Amino acid sequence: MTKMTYMLAGGMAVAALGAVAFLPGSPGDAADHLDPPSRTDPAQDSTPDRAADIGDIYVWQNSQNVRLALTFAGPQATTQPATYDPDVLYTIHVSTDGDPTTSEEDIYVRFGEGGQPNTFGVQVTGLPGDIGTISGSVERTLLRSGACVRAGLFDDPFFFDLQGFKDTAATGTLQFDSSRDFFAGQNITAVVIEFPKSALPASTDGISVWAETARFGGQL
């Protein structure tokens, strides 16, 4: 697992990065829940930066559309609300030229407080093609020019046997149990984006996708 921490221009501090290669059998480096621990793990930081903590990024397609799902600010109990922070910028990078170190498409996600107390809206810009900005309330499916966006609270889709991982690391013998899921019954905040596949250039090399978070005015 690789996580990247570096400074961006404009006073933004990058907190975490996750990546997935949209290619059969190709590797992907990724940060996951509670990375980096010194900023996001409640066991190490009494005020963890939950909003900037990427969980996972998922990418899949059908014959017509590409779908992206970026999760963050979890896992958490189902009694807790979703996490929206207007000072965090979420960027999903898409590489279409066969070079996974460059991005030809950058999708930006921001949240902002709505007109009523404790209400939030989401704004997505930079979608491939001539789609324009999609914005509106969270917990709603927002549609524009063949694309759709939904931000809100979801059941954490990631599966992991944490106890099996710890036992395996301690003994050197595989001790994973598929019936144990540390993330079962826990929620996570996410933004799910769908856009026409035709908005991306045709590529026999597939695409690579990764995401990062940056806090405005922050310092790492």
Residue 50 belongs to some domain of the structure: yes
Residue 20 belongs to some domain of the structure: yes
Residue 67 phi, psi (nearest 5) = -125, 135
Residue 122 belongs to some domain of the structure: yes
**What is the reported pLDDT for 152?**
95
DSSP assignment string, 114-129: -SSTT-EEEEEE--SS
Q: Which amino acid is at 20?
A: V
Residue 77 belongs to some domain of the structure: yes
The range of the structural domain enclosing residue 62 comes to 7-157+186-216
Cα distance between residue 117 and residue 128, in whole Å? 33
Residue 102 belongs to some domain of the structure: yes
Q: How many structural domains does the chain have? A: 1
Kindly give the confidence (pLDDT) of every residue in the chain, 220 residues in length, as a single tens digit, with 9 standing for 90 and above: 233 323 333 344 444 455 444 444 444 455 667 777 667 777 777 777 889 999 999 999 888 999 999 999 988 888 999 999 999 999 999 998 888 888 999 999 999 876 565 568 999 999 999 899 999 999 999 999 999 999 999 988 888 888 988 999 999 999 999 898 888 888 999 999 999 999 988 776 788 899 999 988 765 4
**What is the reported pLDDT for 16?**
47
Those residues whose C-beta lies under 8 Å from the C-beta of residue 18, and which sit 6 or more positions away, are: 30, 31, 32, 54, 55, 56, 57, 70, 210, 211, 212
**What is the reported pLDDT for 21?**
42
**What is the reported pLDDT for 89?**
95
Residue 174 belongs to some domain of the structure: no
Q: Are 104 and 94 in contact (CB under 8 A)?
A: yes
**What is the reported pLDDT for 29?**
53
